[in-house]
Structure 1
């Protein structure tokens, strides 16, 4: 029997992550993004989270012209496995991903109907069984984001929005 190498996955992630949402969409906060993103084609649900409130603020710099002027940062409890850390160059080499593809500009390419290189990163990660990735912040080095391709289904990460009334 051939053993599958899963060493490129990080240990199970558990903790509180953060997401900026338009308050009118609070009830669907964990439904994920439904428009094109760095790691998602239009209508390819993807849950973009940050590991800190500062990370949310850094991520919003790139989206200031496409988001509601009124945003609320919410807390989301996560338990995720089969995540690849894009900061781990040896893991990326094992999988066959060039870190430059993940970092390449994507917005203009997507808006013109093209296929950004970062979408191919997602495709490759799904091929190797990943549920998501850790993405280093390009706006604030040292900060990072969690991007989930699937969640709250069988054998997938579990996410739950934390109601502020529970805090």
Structure 2
């Protein structure tokens, strides 16, 4: 019984320390925009967490900044452009297609095509080597092989 109470106290104390952002929005449209933007923007400090899921101090600051910009009536493009200008393309989970991101967008397809060509070339080479007769036997070995094969055919 004491261990259950101790566990409950641990869970309660963990919940008290968790940071919860409570923002008051003008309307539900702003709330939805805020939620969408914070899930689409990556935390600059964390490896692979969006702003909504990260507990880092910079993510808290950026959520506050996104809230301020949404409530100020700025468009989504303006907010993402501000974040990109400040933190680079890293903050976008889906970066824009341009010269610097071509390898990111088209690289997997190029690697897939190269892999398919390599597999095709390997299978063709194997078929060619399997279809060619093996002439590595000398004359003595060929006559011995012929005698052994003829012995098997005699009834």
Q: Tell me the TM-score normalised to structure 2 length.
A: 0.24
The structure where strand makes up a greater share of residues is 1
Higher relative contact order (CA 8 A, sep 6+): 1
Name the larger-Rg structure. Answer: 2
Q: Tell me the TM-score normalised to structure 1 length.
A: 0.23
The structure where helix makes up a greater share of residues is 2
